[in-house]
Amino acid sequence: MPQTWDPVAYGKDGAFVHGLAGGVLEWLAPEAGERILDLGCGDGQLTQRIAATGALVTAIDASPEMAAAARSRGIAADEGPAESLPYADGSFDAVFSNAVLHWVRGQDEMMAEVHRVLRPGGRFVAEMGGHGNIAAIRTGFAAVLARHGFAELGERGNYYPMPDAYTRRLERHGFTVSRMSHFPRPTPLGEGGMEAWLRIFCRGALGEMPSELRETVVAETADLLAPALCDEDGHWTADYFRLRFVATK
């Protein structure tokens, strides 16, 4: 099922997404005057940080709600899927993406489009979920869904590749990969803990079940995961693995 997004909830309990993006921003190293596309801009908070360097930033997101939230911050944000970008060939010096590519269903179509809109020598810099990402959360959520008769909603359809496989895929689309890193990044969650995380990042699946069951599923999943991901003081840490890369056209 497609994921849906609530910009208000995302801004409150998903702020760690842009807050932990310093490493991939360093790999991007934006410069004043560069034309940069933020692919999957979300609510635009990270886009603002790129624009503050003096780069000429365009943003796009598949979620109309998120694109609108980015525009409310004064960002030039379009709405559309990563697999079909509404820009001319060679429009950008760099395409940047953070915490988005694992949601993209058409990986080959996306890579072809990124390659097309980059100028020759332009770079594709991104961080996404890598192999092993949220393994415990995915397993726990799927188990609770199955218990309630909604096993079919337990498969998120996300793509969490190993670095060698993703390097080969990028190379097939005409990129040269200069940097690739796959690493664990245990991620502290905010005050809302695991329940808030599930409401944000599993909103698509939750929306497919009866409304009266949603909070039961959220609570039961959090209870199941607590021994592994919640410490004795009630602080939650999500089991993230990230894949970060720089590839050049």
Over residues 115-132, the pLDDT tens digits come to 999 999 999 999 999 999
Q: What is the pLDDT of residue 71?
A: 94
Domains and CATH numbers, the chain: 7-134+158-188+238-248 (3.40.50.150)
Beta bridge partners of 79: 61
| Percentage above 90 pLDDT, the chain | 82
Using a cut of 0.85, tell me whether the model's pTM lies above it. yes
Over residues 150-201, the pLDDT tens digits come to 999 887 779 999 999 999 999 999 999 999 999 999 999 988 999 999 998 8
Element (H, E) at 180: strand 176-184
Beta bridge partners of 143: none
Contact between 37 and 94 under an 8 Å Cβ cutoff? The reply is yes
Spatial distance between the Cα atoms of 7 and 229, rounded to a whole number of angstroms: 25
Tell me what the mean pLDDT of segment 22-29 comes to: 89
Spatial distance between the Cα atoms of 161 and 204, rounded to a whole number of angstroms: 22
Q: What is the pLDDT of residue 18?
A: 56
Tell me what the mean pLDDT of segment 16-30 comes to: 76
From start to end of 104-157, where are the E strands?
Answer: 118-129
Q: What is the pLDDT of residue 21?
A: 61
